[in-house]
Amino acid sequence: MTSPLEPLQPSPTFPPADGPVLLIVLDGVGIGPGDEGDAVAQARTPTLDRLFARCPNTELKAHGFAVGLPSDKDMGNSEVGHNALGAGQIVAQGAKRVNQAIEDGAIFATDLWGQMVARCEAGGALHLIGLLSDGNVHSHERHVHALIRQAAEEGVQRLRLHILTDGRDVGAQTSLTYIARVEEVFASLDGVDYQIASGGGRMITTMDRYEADWSIVERGWRAHVLGDARPARSAREAIEAARAEDEDLSDQYVPPFVVTDEAGTPVGTIEDGDGALFFNFRGDRAIEICRAFDEDDFPYFDRERRPDVLFAGMTLYDGDRNIPAHYMVAPPDISRTMGEYMARSGIRQFACSETQKYGHVTYFWNGNRSGQFAPDLEHYVEVPSDNVPFEQRPWMKAAEITDVTLDAMRGSAFQFGRINLANGDMVGHTGHLEAAILSVEAVDLCLERLVDAAEETRTTLVILADHGNADNMFERDKQGAIKRDERGRTKPHTSHTLSPVPCIIFRPWADTPPSFRDDLDAPGLANVAATVLELMGFEPPAHFEPSLLARP
């Protein structure tokens, strides 16, 4: 049984801070190769350059084992990164938990899976909906393949796959590879009717997050459920037709489509009596489609009809709101986080970002928990994101986030604050090098303002990133060299990277400036929580990963 949460105690080693501490996440700004494909290195960043030259700094791991992923080949992402930052612990994440549940068969032994199969035995179809790729950020194709094979083994006669094409966590135009592989799985099965029924690019179909644009979910609903989208005889035909109109089209923007038979009838609408499983394991872009299936009172768009189906998610995407109502694999239990300890200790907290990353400095930071631990002590500010392609406005809302934060700093509104400047990640995902360079420069301009205010208010700054992205904008070979075609052209890289991330501490007025210890083996993002607490003069909880700070 977990013992009651005790308030934080003063550190016997580190004195109380003489001002607040602000943690600044430069989202997607990793430490890359420094060449022409590295937007971070190419950007003009006088503030970052000055901080690196004058302040204690180190590198942190932000991928793989360091953030609870199955292997060190797995890229980090903002969700697991902010989990690690806020929790101070390395927690087995969704990908790892789903891998285990599939490998040991636990997922197929659940009552819920049995109910799905029973529906199909009674004449229904099994629908699998989700991101088809091996990016391992939102989903992994091997999970889909395993679900398909198990369904066939248990006698499911009709299965329809509704695919969301990636182009973001994997190569920009790789969807046909994943389609070919899943169709090979279909072809290996005898006596069943399994096929792709609908699809669309993840950024315009189904996978909205933080209620930024419900029309994205509506497009998915119309394609997957109603069979109302651009018709094609196959998923391959749909994607090839889209590329014929725009040869550089990234998979993330493939228009929604429906696969039809010779008569033009959709092959896989979702009907009463069916079972439907959304197989993504990451929650942020899964919540809204789950609500469309689960909620009776649903005001966001006209569903036209809501089929009577058994709907489930791969895991629980929002524990506070119980979304979805049914799920296959229990989520990680992330408790006793830094935010919870601070609330218990009476520490005033501040969190701010724009819509695209607001949930990261709140929900994910607090261990996948909605709301606040102590509303009277916590002030959260969401700056509404612009609803335009990120490469068209690479500065995003960095200036507005900075304005809000400066007011909070000068108004003594917090003892610990955290903000996320999303530019390097969101613009990096577009594959547009020049826009990514501008995005990093915009962040650097904002950082200059924050540094000036930190000196004025004696606010200690902890500046870092949650993972890499803008540090590599071109595809590379296994040796790290930039790939070029026969005409010398590069190909955009739109996914995260395995790069380490910087960690800088700004406290120039201190008589004894903090310094980083050198005896930790591959320190990562989970070490930051204890570091922040020591900077504030508190003793970190024993279960936290060790602090990065050297003893004074």
Catalytic positions, please? 78
How far apart, in whole angstroms, are the C-alpha atoms of residue 149 and residue 142? 11
As a whole number of angstroms, the distance between CA 520 and CA 539 comes to 18
φ, ψ (nearest 5 deg) of residue 264: 85, 15
Decide: 526 and 365 in contact? Cβ < 8 Å: no
* Separation in Å, CA 311 to CA 97, 307, 321: 20, 10, 16
Question: Which residues does 97 contact at the CB level (< 8 Å), separation at least 6?
Answer: 281, 315, 329, 330, 331, 332
Name which of 513, 537, 506 is nearest 17 in CA terms. Answer: 537
| H/E stretch holding 454 | helix 433-457
Q: What is the CA radius of gyration of the chain?
A: 24
Q: Is the separation of the CB atoms in 373 and 343 below 8 Å?
A: yes
Residue whose tokens read 């995260």: 496
Q: Are 253 and 203 in contact (CB under 8 A)?
A: yes
Q: Give the 3-state secondary structure of residue 301.
A: coil
Residue with tokens 């035909």: 237
Taking the C-alpha atoms of residue 83 and residue 75, their distance in angstroms, rounded to an integer, is: 15
Q: Which secondary-structure segment (H or E) carries 379?
A: strand 378-383
- Residue 423 CA to residue 77 CA, distance in Å, equals 14
Residue showing tokens 């003893």: 551
**Environment class of 16 (CB within 10 Å of its CB; exposed 0-12, middle 13-18, buried 19+):** exposed
What does the alpha-carbon distance between residue 18 and residue 393 come to, in Å, rounded to a whole number? 38
Strand-pair partners of 104: none
Judge whether 40 and 470 are in contact, CB under 8 Å: yes
Is residue 495 within 8 Å of 169, Cβ to Cβ? yes
Tokens of 393: 């406005």
Coil vs helix vs strand at 401 = helix
